[in-house]
A and B are shown apart, each in its own frame.
Chain A
Amino acid sequence: MSDLFPMKQVMGFGVSIILTIIAACVYFFNLSFPITMTILLVTAFIQAGLQLVVFMHAGETNDKPAIYTNIYYGLIIALVTIFGTLLCMIWGYI
């Protein structure tokens, strides 16, 4: 039976549950906006990284550089789009 439940993945699952609970704390406790956002950003990105490495086996073949470049490129461009859009439409808009 233990053959079917590798330690690495069980640990990964446990950590992601804990991170979800930490994130959910922002709802149950009254925290300031910067602290809320910090908690959410940190937990969300750790969880995403966890999925990528533990569950999606992103780094197991020769294509590792291509896969990581692709994901980081997508992530950076997506963030640029999100923050650039906010800059144009809200923050920098008079």
Chain B
Amino acid sequence: MEYFERFAIPHPSPAIYASMVAIGLTVIAIIVGLTYFKKWGYLWREWLTTVDHKRIGIMYLISALLMLFRGGADAIMMRAQMAVPDNTLLDAQHYNEIFTTHGTVMIIFMAMPFIMAFMNYIVPLQIGARDVAFPRLNALSFWLFFMGAMLLNISFVIGGSPDAGWTNYFPLANNEFSQSVGTNYYLFALQISGLGTLITGINMIVTILKMRAPGMTLMKMPMFTWSSLVANVIIVFAFPVLTVALTMGTFDRLFATNFFTTSDGGMDMLWANFFWVWGHPEVYILILPAFGIYSEIISTFSGRNLYGYKSMVGSMVIISFLSFLVWTHHFFTMGQGALTNSIFSITTMAIAVPTGVKIFNWLFTLWKGKIVFTTPMLYSMLFIPTFTIGGVTGVMLGMSAADYQYHNTMFLVAHFHMVIIPGVVFAMLAGLHYYWPKMFGFMLNEKIGKWTAWIIAVSTLLAFMPMFVSGLDGQARRMYTYSASTGFGLWNMISFIGAIGLTIGFILIVYNVIYSIRYSPRNVGSDPWDARTLEWATPSPVPYYNFAKVPHVISTEALWDAKYHQHELFPEPYEKIHMPNNSGVPFILGCIFFAWGFSFVFGMWIPTILTTIGIFICMAHRSLEKDPGHYVPVEKVKATESKLRGSQL
């Protein structure tokens, strides 16, 4: 029995026991449901073993939405605890655990898979490709991400949650101060999902560079594809830094090394340094694809081509480079001299310039456009002003001398939420509404969608604007309570109301999905928005081979040319199509990685060795396997096409 005591939770509470029961019941319900409806085979054949970039994209999307609610539950608990002074809803330890998992889940397991969902689904369609460059690796990326996410999420029922903040600063995260296995979970969950992200990065770069349709030169790529390319370049060069930092942290915790300790020469600040060498580019990994989605939407619903295409591309390339030059601004107060801080202050302010260029490009795209206010467009319009508030407060924080005032206050918390929620979350929701008909063949309800957009936007302001005030007034972040005499009570109550509003908004999105599944008309055709780019030139939902014939492209707006300028998009005859075979190995390898991480978390060395061997066996299998893929014959392509096109024409 003693062996199993390590799996107990160090700080149990009724809420955690309730979640244990809830998790147990959900798992049983899923198993019973799948068995009752005889869906195991379907699940395995169509989803778990799929290498289709569209299905993988949808799985990313579902995971992201689930994690949004996991992270959102954390957020509402935090806001509830802070709503009134001297609240006792949560104790300090639970508050620590909750803000840690909130940050980690939202960045790594909500925002990342959300952008991965769109990159996976849309990029190959936008460039006219049949799949990504390495479909098998793409499946592996997803399963590594998914297993990493699951590993972090079981932490709060087995062994204890991480509690050192999503930045996991050492020496707080050392064994001495974080005694539960929570931080181990953090380290391995990020390591495993980070590996998946790196693989996606390589995959997408090669896909975009080598698999574009004939005629699509680099400067004729749609903007979302460009933003994905740049984001993936950043991924490839930023994630190895995280890998190294996590490895060093793991060694400190499991093998008693002295990288980030405060004795024997260890240097705790080095963690902060490496974390942000990865962490700042990570911000741009999230925001650039979001900008790409806004560019597509704003251009479509203004009825105009995107203003300043070249400056858009140029500013993203500059951002990709500058994003690696600013990381010190996350720890101006750590003790560097004035010269160092000044250098990084200047680079930080420099990066605001290309971002500003993009804002002006969107505004000029709107100028004299025939604007159609659909839900995605509404999100985009709400994004510009709210994001600008987040952006300019970022420039305030970027001034190193002034930062001593703002550092670690709620002002900072307000800033990054005002950047990430309008910047990334609005973009993802806009993208969800915009690409929903492409993915599923029907539209989300516009009326509910617009209500939701307004509720979310107003609630965002309500939740985070008060933090600017209380932060300037001196409210520190990550404090689990405060006394009434501080006067923070009012501001935090307003924030709590905003948080409730956001909760209602996100529930409305789920309601909208359910409502639209039941009531939305199904015959929306392949191009319901009168859009401009190639992904709308193939039927919705998209056939598994994407394009029956290889498209030919002459500008950034291939479909617009075809619709209004007599461009012939598909001049080639039907040919047999080469497609990759499905494989169960990525899923199995993902499961082994999960077991590997779990064994490491608890320092169980025999399972660790066995699972490591399992990983190598999977790799050896891949090396020896012959996997030529298969061909779809012309007749089958023709039959599928006439069925899909016939029903809509």
Contacts and interface: CB of A to CB of B under 8 A. Distances in A.
Interface of A: 63, 66, 73-74, 77, 80-81, 84-85, 87-89, 91-94
B273 A73 contact: no
A79 to B, nearest CB: 11
A88 B325 contact: no
Main secondary structure of the interface of A (DSSP, over half): helix
A88 B328 contact: yes
Contact of A87 (B233, B241, B274, B340): B340
Contact of B337 (A77, A80, A93): A93
B339 A85 contact: no
A13 B542 CA distance: 53
Given A73-B237, A88-B273, A89-B270, A81 B324 contact: yes
Nearest to B281: A77
B469 interface: no
A80 B267 CA distance: 20
A84 B269 contact: no
A94 B338 CA distance: 9
Contact of A93 (B241, B325, B336): B336
Nearest to A85: B273
28 contacts: A66-B209, A73-B237, A74-B237, A77-B237, A77-B324, A80-B324, A81-B277, A84-B277, A84-B325, A84-B327, A84-B328, A85-B270, A85-B273, A85-B277, A87-B336, A87-B340, A88-B269, A88-B334, A88-B336, A88-B340, A89-B267, A89-B270, A89-B273, A91-B340, A92-B339, A93-B336, A94-B335, A94-B336
Interface in B467-486: none
B324 A92 contact: no
B233 A73 contact: yes
B343 interface: yes
B143 to A, nearest CB: 27
A88 B273 CA distance: 8
A49 B11 CA distance: 56
A67 B155 CA distance: 41
A75 B368 CA distance: 45
B333 to A, nearest CB: 12
Contacts of B325: 80, 84
Contacts of A94: 335-337
A92 B340 contact: yes
B237 A92 contact: no
A73 B340 CA distance: 23
Contacts of B209: 63, 66
B338 to A, nearest CB: 9
A63 B237 CA distance: 19
Interface in B240-290: 241, 267, 269-270, 273-274, 277
A26 B270 CA distance: 30
Contacts of A74: 237
A74 B238 CA distance: 10
A59 to B, nearest CB: 16
Given A66-B209, A84-B327, A92 B337 contact: yes
Given A66-B209, A84-B277, A93-B335, 12 more contacts: A63-B209, A74-B237, A81-B241, A85-B270, A85-B277, A87-B340, A88-B336, A89-B270, A91-B340, A92-B339, A93-B340, A94-B335
Interface of B: 209-210, 233, 237, 241, 267, 269-270, 273-274, 277, 324-325, 327-328, 334-337, 339-340, 343
Nearest to B233: A73
Nearest to B339: A92
A87 B343 contact: yes
Contacts of B241: 81
A94 B210 CA distance: 49
Nearest to A81: B277
Closest A-B pairs by Cβ, 9 of them? A92-B340, A92-B337, A92-B336, A94-B337, A77-B237, A77-B324, A88-B328, A88-B336, A87-B340
Nearest to A76: B321
A93 B269 CA distance: 11
Contacts of B324: 77, 80-81
Contacts of A88: 269, 273, 328, 334, 336, 340
Nearest to B327: A84
A63 B269 CA distance: 40
Contacts of B274: 85
B228 to A, nearest CB: 16
- Which of A87, A88, A92, A94 is most buried by chain B, counting CB atoms within 10 A of its CB? A88
A66 B229 CA distance: 12
Nearest to A66: B209
A8 B273 CA distance: 43
A64 B31 CA distance: 51
B182 to A, nearest CB: 27
A87 to B, nearest CB: 5
Contacts of A93: 335-337, 340
A63 B340 CA distance: 38
Nearest to A78: B237
A73 B236 CA distance: 11
Contacts of A66: 209
Contacts of B334: 88
B360 to A, nearest CB: 27
Nearest to B278: A81
Contacts of A81: 241, 277, 324
Contacts of A85: 270, 273-274, 277
A44 B267 CA distance: 29
A50 B546 CA distance: 43
Contacts of B237: 73-74, 77
A86 B229 CA distance: 30
A81 B324 CA distance: 8
A89 B324 CA distance: 17
A33 B6 CA distance: 53
A88 to B, nearest CB: 5
Contacts of B269: 88-89
A59 B149 CA distance: 40
A76 B270 CA distance: 21
Contacts of B277: 81, 84-85
Contacts of A89: 267, 269-270, 273
